[in-house]
Amino acid sequence: MMLIQIAWRNVWRNKGRSFVVMMAMIVGIVSTIFLMAFSWGMYEYRIDEAIQKESSHLQVHHEKFKEAFEPKYTIADHQQLASKLRSDKRVESVSERVVTMGMAQSSRSSLGVRIIGVDPAQEDATTHLSESLTQGEYFTGTKAVPVVVGEKFAEKLKLGLKKKPVLQFQNIHGEIVPVKVKIVGLYKTNNSLFDQMNLFIPRDKLQELLGLGNEVNEMAILLHDSKDVEAVKADVEGETTALVETWKEATPELALAIDSFDKSMAVLVAIIFLAVAFGIINTMLMAVLERVREIGMLMAVGMNKARVFTMFMLETIFLSLAGAPIGIGLGWALVAWTNKVGINLSMYGEGLSQMGFSNMVYPSLPTEQYVILTIEILVIVLISSLVPARRSLKLNPATAIRKI
Amino acid sequence: MTQTAIRPVIETRNLSKTYDSTGVPVHALNGVDLVIEEGEFTAIVGPSGSGKTTLLNIIGGLDNASSGSAHVADQEITGMKESQLIDFRLHNIGFVFQAYNLIPVLTAKENVEFIMLMQKRSKSEREERSSALLSAVGLQDQANKRPLQMSGGQQQRVAVARALASRPRFVLADEPTANLDSHSTSNLLDIMARLNKEENMTFVFSTHDQRVIDRARRVITLEDGRIVSDERK
């Protein structure tokens, strides 16, 4: 008990120095929490956006489809599978699609594109495509083959509403099929690359042009709750021989980007923690060196090494943890405030939209991340406390007592 | 009439210590034979480098001899492991240092209690003995003050109280008056002489201070690591 008392009082022996360490701890923790919350908020939005507007929670393809995106690899018994899925309470909607790769040409330019044949109602229920429309209408008002394109696509090919680009692609017999389509709607998501690449036309038209009959080669499944992804995937795998992928598997570039961002954040957090840990170690080593005579006296009068070690460990822990709750509290408050008002990153808008991110970031951090962070802080403080405590044990009481 | 045998508290035989940290051997002690009995009030004197501190370190269990033996408080301490020496010091020796060396964040009373806490004495015993010892050194009214709130003389008196708190077999005082003015020195020596007389506490001083030498009942003079004189008054 007296060791605790001594350690606690020692923390306040040099108030200025203790204050600096506490501030370092607070700034370190607040920065860490904010960085984590910023990236969490950014990715939470991006993932949500990717699921809601691009990939959905699950995708089903013929197992060979993705090798060369050949439309002939269709999903067997897709209607039966879709029907079963629609009766599953965990499933919000299913979009049965026909997908092929092709070229889009205007009078001025051409572009490689992904042509997606959709049932407008199914697609809207799954990717809310109509909500992303900025101009025109959703597959209505034309006798020609209607197409909904991204604003970025229109910008690249210098096209606008009612313009008629030509799409070219191979049908399942390997013949090149050209088709003139009419732009009836322009959409815009936060992912400019997606907008540039993906064109939506009625599924029955594309089936006809490809020679696919009623077959489809992609099913996008939107769930009510992301937590059910693995369970539904397992159930679907039990129903079909086709390849079932989660959003992470279907969009590896997104998973890779998240992973890379997570890793760079982890490195940044590690650097902050390391700086804080070195600050603590440095301060406590100074404390040990300043108190050589005192430590010598304690050892001389009979304080054993375990007690000396414990005393310095406690002192380091007290010093460090005095700032930790304040840091966590301030970090939480900062995250709550920025979550409410948002952070406007429009000056980096172009770069962010190419990666599919929104200009507005709403930092957020789940409670379990605060718990993990607290445990990490405790571990770092414990490790930091070992160095000065160990240094104190190396002193020889006979010489330490006489140290000036 | 029976005569009680006086027990030696410290007994060294042919005690030597050689330091060799720079590659050139330095003989700090050269075959010191010394017996200090219970209740003695002894000053060890000598010029700087004569071996006073080395001798005190060895009989205080803070350093090991290169050869010879040191029988202290009924135990042979040469060859003891470090952990054994720490325990030995805690239960057998009271230390008073030149620079007082109190724990600055504890009050006078807590400084005195601290040793007893390490000895795992009960709270009531700690409180009773610390109060008694602070009264014995005339500091009962300073019990709740921290060292920096006290004068050097008062701090050294707290150090004496702390040295006695563990009920040691003897007190080793290394230049205890070196930092004190004459009034504080006289006061401190009075207290230690009284404790020596009334409680038969053995005191061994290392000192240059003539005022201490004058009050000692035995003066051992060291030169070049050897005892060159041993006077009893």
Average confidence (pLDDT) per 10 residues, chain B, 233 residues: 66 93 86 94 93 92 92 91 91 90 93 92 93 91 94 93 92 89 89 89 92 93 94 87
Can you give the pLDDT at residue A46?
A: 83
Overall residue count recorded for chain A in this entry: 404
Residues in chain A within 8 Å Cβ distance of B57: 398
CA atoms of A290 and B169, how far apart (whole Å): 32
Nearest CB among B86, B97, B166 relative to A297 is that of B97
Q: Does a structural domain hold residue B213?
A: yes
Mutate to test the interface with B, among A301, A305, A395 (most CBs of B within 10 A): A301
Tell me whether residues B105 and A9 touch, CB distance under 8 A: yes
Residue B215 sits in a domain of what CATH number?
Answer: 3.40.50.300
Q: What angle do CA A117, A82, A51 make, to 5 degrees?
A: 65
At A98, the pLDDT band (50, 70, 90 cuts) reads: very high
Which structural domain range is residue B221 located in? Answer: 8-232
Whether chain B has a CB inside 8 Å of the CB on A398: the answer is: yes
CA A179 to chain CA centroid, nearest Å = 39
Q: CA distances (Å), B85 to each of A304, A390, B90, in order?
A: 10, 20, 8
pLDDT tens sequence across B18-43 = 988 778 888 899 999 999 999 999 99
Q: Is residue B2 part of a domain?
A: no
In a domain, residue B1? The reply is no
Q: Cβ distance B59 to B10 under 8 Å?
A: yes
Which residue in chain A is spatially nearest to B118 when comparing CA positions?
A303
* Average pLDDT taken over every residue of chain A: 89
Beta bridge partners of A61: A243
Interface mutation target, options B83, B91, B97, B110, chain A, most CBs of A under 10 Å? B97
Neighbours of B194 (CB within 10 A): 13
Q: Is A20 left (phi over 0), alpha (psi -120 to 50) or beta?
A: alpha
Domain boundary assignment for chain A: 2-50+255-400, 63-241
Nearest-angstrom CA–CA distance, A140 and A121: 12
**Contact between B63 and A299 using a beta-carbon 8 Å cutoff:** no
3-state secondary structure of A109: coil
Secondary structure (3-state) at A95 = strand
Question: Looking at residues A288-312, what average pLDDT do you find?
Answer: 89
Interface of B with A (CB under 8 A): 53, 57, 60, 62-63, 83, 86-87, 89-91, 95, 97-99, 101, 103-106, 110, 113-115, 117-119, 162, 166, 174
Q: How many domains does chain B have?
A: 1
Candidates A235, A168, A194; CA nearest to A50 is: A194
pLDDT of residue A401: 78
Q: Is the pLDDT of residue A77 over 80?
A: yes
A188-245 pLDDT per residue, tens: 988 888 999 999 999 999 999 999 999 999 999 999 998 999 999 999 999 899 999 9
Give whole-number Cα distances, A18 to A8, A26, A319, in Å. Answer: 11, 12, 7
In a domain, B186, yes or no: yes
Does the pLDDT at position A320 exceed 60? yes
Across the range A287-302, mean pLDDT stands at: 88
Q: Which residues partner with A255 through β-bridges?
A: none
Residue B230: the pLDDT is 94
Q: Are B116 and B132 in contact (CB under 8 A)?
A: no
B3, part of any domain:
no
Long-range contacts of B134-139 (CB under 8 A, 24+ apart): B134/B108, B134/B109, B134/B158, B134/B161, B136/B161, B136/B164, B136/B191, B136/B194, B136/B195, B137/B161, B137/B191, B138/B187, B138/B191, B139/B108
The pair phi, psi for residue B120, each rounded to 5°, is 65, 40
Give the model's pLDDT for residue B4.
52
Query: Which residues in B4-40 are b (16+ Cβ under 10 Å) and which e?
Result: eeeebbbbbeebbbeeeeeeeeebbbbebebebebbb
DSSP-derived 3-state class of residue A346: helix
